[in-house]
Each structure stands twice: as C-alpha cells, then as structure tokens.
Amino acid sequence: MTNAMMSITNHLKPTDSIVILTGAGISKESGLDTFRCADGIWAKVDLEDVATPEGFARDPALVHRFYNDRRRGLRDPAVQPNAAHRALAELERRWKGDLLLVTQNIDDLHERAGSQTLIHMHGELNAVFCRHCRSKVENWTHDLSVEDICPSCARKGGMRPDVVWFGEMPYQMERIYRALGACDLFVSIGTSGNVYPAASFVAEARNAGALTVELNLEPSAGASLFADSVNGPATELVPAFVS
Ligand code: BJW
C-alpha cells in the first residue's frame, strides 16, 4: 500500500459505508493473547477441549476454568484499550456514513474505547447463558461453575459462557451480511483469516464492489483476497489508516 492509500479519507466519500472486522491481533498490544501466534492460546490448550460443545459436554469444569481465567485476565488493570481500539471509536464518532464494527473478540476493549455500533459475532466473555432455558445474563463478573443456578429457570449445571464454539452459529449473521453487501470499504484488522464465516467476509465485500484492506502484523491466510494488505502492529497501522 502506498502512502496515498494510507488514509480512509483519501478513498471514500464522507457518507460511504464501512464494515470493519477485528480479531485477536487488535488486542495483543493490550496484553491479551492471540490464538494462533507461536505463543498463542492454541499452543497451550487443545481447542477441541475448550472451544467445542463436545469438549464442554466432556469436561465442563475444564472449560469453566479456561474462561474464568480469561475473564479475570480481562479485569487486570494493565489490560486497557489501545490506540487501535481508540482510533476505531473516534472514526465511528466522526463518520457520517454507516459504520459497522464486527469483532470476533470476546473481550470488551472496543466498548471500553467508546465504540457503540458493535457486533460480537463470537460472543462475550462477560456474558453467560443457560443451556436449558437460553436466558442470558450480561455483566457476569464472578467465576462460573457447574454449581451455578440459572437466575431465570433455577436449574443447576446449565450455565455456560456466552461464546461461540466451533460448530455453533456466530451471532447476528444476517445483519453482518446485509452490511457487507452494501459497504464501500471493508477493513480486516488483526485476524489470521483461518476461521469461517469471518474469513469469507472479504469475498462478500468484494462481490459488493467494496475496496478491501487488511491491516495485520503479517499476511493473513486470505491476504491475496484483499485489494491491499499492510503489515505491522495495529497500534501503528489503525490510527494512521483511519486518520
Ligand atoms: C497482530 C498483532 C498486532 C498479532 N497487530 N495484528 C472446513 C472448511 C471451512 C469451514 C469449516 C471447516 N470445518 C469447520 C468449519 C467451520 C468452522 C471453522 O472455521 N473451522 C476452521 C478452523 C476451518 N467455523 C465454525 O464452526 C463457526 N461456525 C460456523 O461456521 O457456523 C456455520 C455457519 C455457516 C455459514 C454461515 C454462518 C455460520 C464458529 C467459529 C467459532 C470460533 N470460536 C473461537 C473461540 C471462541 C471464542 C473465544 O474463546 O475467544 O473464536 S476460535 C478463535 O478463533 C476465536 C477467534 O475469534 C477466532 C479467530 O481468531 P483470530 O481473531 O483470527 O486470531 P488468530 O490468533 O488466529 O490471529 C491473530 C492475528 O493477529 C494473526 O494473524 C497475527 O499475525 C495478528 N497479530 N499481533 C496486528 N499487534
């Protein structure tokens, strides 16, 4: 990407529509692990054990420990939104056209930075739901266990993290595909492009005639699908790109 490409304002009309997809890489510089980097989460735990409905059925206590640790990690005072999260929130405040931020992340750093039009397509660490009655509890702060009782249906053993595991349907897909089909710019930030359906969003946006740009530490699995792919840390690339 040339310097002339580096700013959104050079390429869009002020009322154009933007869809932004973020992944674990945007939160790396806030102190949260990615999944597939050499020191990432999947190098330490088996995803079949902690990120599938089958793993949860086999050993719910193990899955609870995994998400309890990450929920506590999110409350570490050192974990704060970084310059990339803040730049996206600032872009949303000033952008006159439609702007939809879709994150695969279950952390709350985008909302803490001030983003409002935000979809957590893989769920949220700070929410839980009951497998029996499907009722959801937001702002769940304490450790979850197999002993927890559903506040709605009062049954025990059905509470689980409100996250989307492999084989489950990500959230708000209709709304996301509608936005992708109507966008003028699609930007993918800090995601390896290994997990579907998020990995196919670039193709949807391209089919809609959108400009497609990837901002990632290294070329993602789908880098060649983007019109432009820029490599570097999100805290440098994102503020420059949205300025
Ligand atoms: C930086 C940086 C810095 C680092 N600055 N960058 C065969 C073919 C095709 C599909 C399938 C298949 N078999 C099964 C499937 C479907 C399956 C899938 O995709 N599997 C693949 C492994 C092949 N997908 C599903 O099952 C999904 N559901 C589904 O498909 O439903 C059916 C459906 C059909 C049609 C339409 C709609 C739906 C569900 C997927 C659920 C994913 N869940 C997880 C865990 C739960 C949440 C959690 O615990 O946190 O979500 S897996 C994990 O991966 C997590 C993430 O959100 C997701 C994506 O990871 P992400 O964000 O890309 O992180 P990394 O680590 O991979 O990459 C980080 C990147 O950042 C790297 O590139 C770094 O270089 C970069 N980076 N530092 C900028 N400072």
Q: Which domains does the chain have, with CATH numbers?
A: 1-32+81-122+169-243 (3.40.50.1220), 37-78+127-163 (3.30.1600.10)
Centroid of ligand 1 to alpha carbon of 52 (angstroms): 13
- Check: CB of residue 138 under 8 Å from CB of residue 126: yes
Q: Distance between CA atoms of 107 and 112, rounded to whole angstroms?
A: 10
Would you say the CB of residue 169 lies under 6 angstroms from ligand 1?
A: yes
Average pLDDT of the chain to the nearest whole number: 95
Residue 100: what are its φ and ψ, rounded to 5°? -115, 125
Centroid of ligand 1 to alpha carbon of 105 (angstroms): 10
Phi-psi region at 152: left, alpha or beta (left = phi > 0; alpha = psi -120 to 50)? alpha
Q: Which of 71, 195, 204 to mutate to test the pocket of ligand 1 (most atoms within 8 A of CB)?
A: 195
Residue 126: what are its φ and ψ, rounded to 5°? -90, 20
Interface predicted TM-score (ipTM) of this complex, two decimals: 0.96
Centroid of ligand 1 to alpha carbon of 107 (angstroms): 15
User: Tens digit of pLDDT for each residue in 49-98?
Assistant: 999 999 999 999 999 999 999 999 999 999 999 999 999 999 999 999 99
Per-residue pLDDT, 9: 77
Q: Is 142 one of the catalytic residues?
A: no
List residues bridging with 213 in a β-sheet: 187, 228
Instruction: Quote the tokens at residue 51.
Output: 């990120």
Going through 166-205 in order, the beta strands assigned E by DSSP cover: 185-189
- Locate the ligand 1 atom nearest the alpha carbon of residue 196 and give its number: 19
Q: Distance between CA atoms of 34 and 194, rounded to whole angstroms?
A: 13
